[in-house]
Amino acid sequence: MSKDKKLNYTVTSQGSLGLLALGDIGIKLWRDAVKDNPKNKRVKPKNQNEQN
């Protein structure tokens, strides 16, 4: 079992659940992609206190 996942797809700034499921490395790759393209389409919740 490999600790270093080899990715064979392009990481976009939109990210994906798959990237989140990769854990720390997925998040790093995604955040790097966001840095390159910060205009993301997000679901914008209110801040944590107001959400629920």
Q: Which of 6, 11, 22, 29 touches another protein by CB under 8 A? A: 22
CA distances from 3 to 23, 28, 36 (A): 12, 15, 26
CA 18 – CA 46 distance, rounded (Å): 25
Choosing from 6, 9, 38, 52, the residue that interacts with another protein (CB under 8 A) is: 52
Give 10 or 41: the residue with its C-beta nearer to another protein.
41
Residue 17 binding another protein, by CB under 8 A? yes
Residues with Cβ < 8 Å from 51, sequence gap 6 or more? 45
Q: Given the rule CB under 8 A, which residues bind another protein?
A: 1-3, 5, 12-18, 20-27, 40-49, 51-52
